[in-house]
Chains A and B, each alone.
Chain A
Amino acid sequence: GENVEQHPSTLSVQEGDSAVIKCTYSDSASNYFPWYKQELGKRPQLIIDIRSNVGEKKDQRIAVTLNKTAKHFSLHITETQPEDSAVYFCAASIRANAGGTSYGKLTFGQGTILTVHP
C-alpha cells in the first residue's frame, strides 16, 4: 500500500520567517495531495491541496509544490505568524475500488509540529 513519510517532525521558526515541510510518497498512482492543519485539541482542517496534474499551487501565504518524478511534495508557509503554530499533516490519495465503487483513499504522514515564536 501507499506509504507517506513527513519531515521534519518538529519545526521551530521566528515570526516572519518561512517554514517548509516535506513529504514523500511511495505509490506513483497517488494523484491527490492535501495538507491539513490541526490546532491543539481541534480537528484537522484542510488548508491547501494539489492534484497530480499541477506542479504548484498558492493561496496567500501558503503554497504547495509537487514533484511527481521524485514522488515528493512540500508545504511552504511564508511570513509565518504565531497563529500558524499547529501540527501539519500531509496526505496522499490513491484511487481505490470497493464493491465496484471508486473513491479516494487517504494515507497520512506522521505530522510536523510547527512552532512560530513571536
Chain B
Amino acid sequence: NAGVTQTPKFRVLKTGQSMTLLCAQDMNHEYMYWYRQDPGMGLRLIHYSVGEGTTAKGEVPDGYNVSRLKKQNFLLGLESAAPSQTSVYFCASSYSPLDSFGFKAFFGQGTRLTVV
C-alpha cells in the first residue's frame, strides 16, 4: 500500500514548455486534489475531483488543467509554463463517507517545479 505517489519529484522547465504531473493513489479514494505551496502562503487549492471523470476549479486554477480518467489517477497539466508557476505541488486524496462532515486528506511527497 503506497498511499499517494507523485511523479516526478523534481523538474526544471523553460518558460513556455508544457508538462504533466501525475498523482496516483491506491486507497480507493473518491476525492483527489492538487495544491501548490509557496512560502508564507500555505497550501492553495488549484483543482480538485470528486470522482472519476469529474474535475472542478479551486482557488488558483489559471494556467493549469487536470484530468481524472481513472479513479486512482489525477493529472495536473501546465500547457505553457511561466516563472510564476515555480512552486512545490502537492497532490492529496481523501475518502469522505456521505454522512461525514469532514474528511482526512493524505498527501503525496510533493513535486518541486522550477520554471526559468
Contacts and interface: CB of A to CB of B under 8 A. Distances in A.
Asked if A pairs with B, the answer is: yes
Given A31-B102, A49-B104, A98-B50, A43 B43 contact: no
A97 to B, nearest CB: 9
Nearest to A104: B103
A106 B105 contact: yes
Given A89-B43, A98-B56, A103-B50, A44 B90 contact: yes
Nearest to B44: A108
Interface of A: 1, 4, 6, 9, 31-32, 34, 36, 42-46, 49, 51-52, 89, 93, 95, 98-99, 101-111
Interface in B75-116: 90, 94, 96, 98, 100-110
Interface residues of B, number: 31
B39 to A, nearest CB: 9
A51 B101 CA distance: 8
